[in-house]
């Protein structure tokens, strides 16, 4: 038996993505070359760019391919702060480390002041506090950037990104959002959502690893992070990963076009998992808002049980019994001190199970059986 419930970390590669990459391997030219082989490769890159832009309601020139979401976050935040003249950055302690560590770097190097938005015990941010701060900075004519992830990768909390973007625009603040967990999972229309920067990672929606993109609103100047060439309209030097971009494009089209059906199907799987956990383990608690289907991402569920988590070995025990899941972000799985997100909301611990379009209720039943087996052996 093998159950994969760690889709917030990475997802299985879709057949559509595999096929697109195999076909792209036939176009071996450098997309910067002007001869026929180069033009074939360039056509693959630009077709994917246009397809993504059309689905996101933005211009193709606003999509810049990167090696993944972490690079996109780093570039948007550091270059954005430098080039937009930002004096104050507002973010959160429960962001992905691709944002929190960058915020620390920005502050340590004197690029601007960093402020952390308060949150409650469920990880819900105090947006009223933020609005008061933005109003005050606006009256002082200071340039501000806000960085909040659309959906938290560990506890699944979703923010109202459109309302936040309108608040930021009201006070002239730039908005960056790590949309890695929601890209191609939730409807995003950047013609209506007035954010300035967003990040995407292909392997979060059944595409390949090592490829993603940044969205940068037209008119914003960001110096390149990587130097040495004029690729990506001089935004990012280096020969484009044509094969990876082809795979990303196929996976993006597949998942974005199926958002409505996937949302219904996967929500039912998550709802069933919540019901089974509550029924079989009455003392179970859900971290953040992950147990609330209306306020959390339908792919993420983070639970804590005082008995199951008593020895700190649950995730290891699940693994040896054929269930793959995590205790937090896979990007910091070796960190000392556990999950910074769970620590920030004062949770005693937790296990994150995360679903995909390929997850099933039958797998949930098998997962519950394994949990019962582990509990009986305590």
Residues labelled as active-site residues: 331
The answer for residues whose C-beta is within 8 angstroms of residue 220's C-beta and 6 or more apart is 80, 83, 84, 174, 196, 197
**Distance in angstroms (rounded) separating the CA atoms of residues 324 and 319:** 5
Crossing angle, helix 161-170 and helix 127-139, to 10 degrees?
20
Distance between CA atoms of residues 267 and 263, nearest Å: 6
Q: What three-state secondary structure class fits 214?
A: strand
Nearest to 183 by CA among 336, 299, 28: 299
CA dihedral 170→174→180→186, nearest 10 degrees, is 20
The token duo for 300 is 């993420």
Cβ–Cβ < 8 Å for 25, 224: no
CB burial of 23-61 (b: ≥16 within 10 Å; e: otherwise) equals: ebeebebebeeeeeebebbbebbeebbebbbebbebbee
Q: Which two tokens stand for residue 260?
A: 């409505």
DSSP character at residue 156: -
């Amino acid at each position: 038996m093998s159950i994969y419930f760690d889709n917030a970390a990475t997802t299985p590669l879709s057949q559509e993505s595999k096929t697109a990459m195999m076909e792209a391997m036939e176009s071996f030219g450098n997309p910067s070359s002007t001869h026929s082989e180069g033009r074939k490769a360039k056509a693959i890159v630009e077709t994917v760019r246009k397809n993504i832009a059309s689905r996101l309601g933005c211009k193709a020139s606003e999509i810049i391919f990167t090696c993944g979401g972490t690079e996109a976050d780093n570039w948007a935040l550091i270059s954005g702060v430098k080039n937009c003249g930002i004096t104050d950055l507002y973010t959160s302690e429960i962001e992905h480390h691709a944002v929190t560590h960058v915020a620390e770097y920005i502050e340590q190097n004197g690029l601007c002041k960093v402020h952390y938005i308060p949150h409650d015990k469920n990880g819900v941010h105090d947006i009223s506090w933020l609005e008061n701060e933005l109003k005050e900075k606006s009256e002082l004519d200071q340039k501000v950037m806000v960085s909040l992830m659309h959906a938290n990768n560990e506890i699944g909390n979703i923010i109202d990104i459109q309302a936040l973007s309108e608040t930021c625009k009201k006070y002239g603040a730039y908005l960056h959002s790590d949309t890695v967990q929601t890209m191609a999972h939730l409807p995003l229309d950047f013609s209506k959502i007035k954010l300035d920067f967003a990040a995407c990672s292909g392997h979060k929606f059944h595409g390949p690893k090592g490829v993603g993109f940044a969205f940068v609103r037209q008119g914003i100047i960001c110096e390149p992070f990587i130097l040495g060439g004029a690729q990506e309209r001089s935004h990012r030097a280096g020969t484009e990963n044509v094969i990876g971009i082809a795979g990303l494009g196929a996976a993006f089209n597949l998942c974005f076009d199926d958002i409505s059906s996937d949302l219904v199907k996967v929500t039912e799987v998550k709802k069933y998992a919540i019901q089974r956990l509550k029924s079989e383990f009455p003392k179970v608690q859900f971290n953040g808002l992950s147990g609330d289907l209306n306020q959390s991402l339908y792919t993420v569920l983070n639970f804590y049980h005082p008995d199951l988590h008593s020895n700190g070995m649950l995730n290891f025990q699940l693994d040896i019994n054929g269930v793959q899941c995590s205790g937090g972000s896979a990007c910091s799985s070796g960190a000392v001190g556990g999950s910074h997100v769970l620590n920030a909301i004062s949770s005693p611990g937790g296990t994150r199970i995360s679903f995909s379009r390929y997850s099933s209720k039958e797998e949930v039943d098998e997962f519950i059986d394994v949990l019962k087996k582990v509990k009986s052996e305590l």
